[in-house]
């Protein structure tokens, strides 16, 4: 499916990023794995980068080859990290990497953002989301203080902003055939699942009781791969839940169904 295609995967050292990189490589892609730490067994080429550092992002973009056919933005940190760091990695770093890479991507390329079920409440956060559109790395701490973003809220807000941004970019590069979509997992059994349970407490435990099981990285990687493939060429600006039915449950609860 991905023969003669180059795909850049961030967060490729573990979890969903690692599973996605392995799946793409198995389907013929030339994978460029990006992470802050070297993966134990990453397919293809590895490039080290810290997405919380704008200088490192610029260096990464300069080092990456032109003509890549896809970008999977999977790197992220959990809500147990300081709020400013969560926004820097999960939102600002992702956004800056993407915008700087677009001129180097091949026409017809696909960009896939790993969002989250945690971001489904974005319509209730529109004023803060609009304010974040011009946010830069230097202003993150002040932004968090001004908008009451602390603790787990940092993760929720970053994912809300990412889903909204994905919707907004639905036709941003249509003239070049470049599309952007998102995938929103529910709880997934990765190295940071414990961080979510620790941070969200009873809320996370209730979600886990309702679900038949947590997701696995291998449940999410094929959805990302589909959105990176030519089979999804007319899917633009979409956010696909991959959460064992939790998104549907929450919608039914919200609307009394």
Task: Indicate which residues carry an active-site annotation.
Answer: 155
Q: Which residue has the tokens 């397919």?
A: 43
Q: Which residue has the tokens 């490039």?
A: 47
Are 49 and 34 contacting, i.e. CB atoms less than 8 angstroms apart?
yes
The set of residues, in sequence order, having a beta carbon less than 8 Å from that of 44 and lying 6+ positions away, is 21, 25, 29, 30, 31, 32, 33
Burial of 106 (0-12, 13-18, 19+ CB in 10 A): middle
- Report the candidate in 91, 147, 138, 98 with the shortest Cα–Cα distance to residue 119: 91
- Report the candidate in 78, 71, 117 with the shortest Cα–Cα distance to residue 94: 71
Are 144 and 202 contacting, i.e. CB atoms less than 8 angstroms apart?
no
In degrees to the nearest 10, what's the CA dihedral of 33, 34, 38, 43? 0
Render 151-166 in DSSP notation, one character per residue: TTHHHHHHHHHHHHHH
Packing angle of the helix pair 193-200, 202-210 (nearest 10 deg): 120
């Amino acid at each position: 499916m991905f023969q003669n295609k180059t795909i850049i995967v961030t967060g490729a050292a573990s979890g969903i990023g690692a599973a996605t990189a392995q799946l793409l490589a198995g389907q013929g892609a030339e994978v460029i794995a990006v992470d802050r730490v070297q993966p134990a067994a990453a397919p293809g080429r590895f490039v080290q980068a810290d997405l919380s550092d704008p200088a490192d992002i610029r260096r990464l973009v300069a080092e990456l080859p032109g003509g890549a056919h896809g970008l999977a933005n999977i790197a992220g940190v959990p809500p147990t990290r300081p709020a400013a760091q969560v926004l820097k990695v999960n939102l600002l770093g992702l956004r800056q990497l993407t915008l700087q890479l677009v001129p180097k991507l091949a026409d017809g390329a696909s960009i896939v953002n790993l969002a989250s079920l945690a971001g489904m409440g974005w319509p209730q956060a529109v004023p803060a989301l609009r304010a974040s559109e011009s946010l830069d790395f230097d202003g993150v701490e002040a932004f968090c203080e001004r908008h009451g973003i602390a603790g787990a809220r940092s993760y929720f807000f970053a994912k809300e902003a990412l889903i909204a941004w994905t919707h907004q970019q639905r036709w941003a590069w249509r003239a070049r055939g470049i599309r952007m979509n998102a995938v929103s997992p529910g709880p997934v059994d990765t190295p940071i699942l414990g961080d979510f349970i620790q941070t969200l407490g009873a809320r996370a435990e209730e979600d886990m009781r309702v679900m038949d099981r947590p997701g696995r990285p291998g449940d999410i990687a094929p959805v990302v791969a589909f959105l990176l493939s030519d089979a999804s060429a007319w899917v633009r600006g979409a956010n696909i839940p991959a959460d064992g039915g939790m998104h549907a449950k929450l919608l039914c609860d919200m609307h009394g169904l």
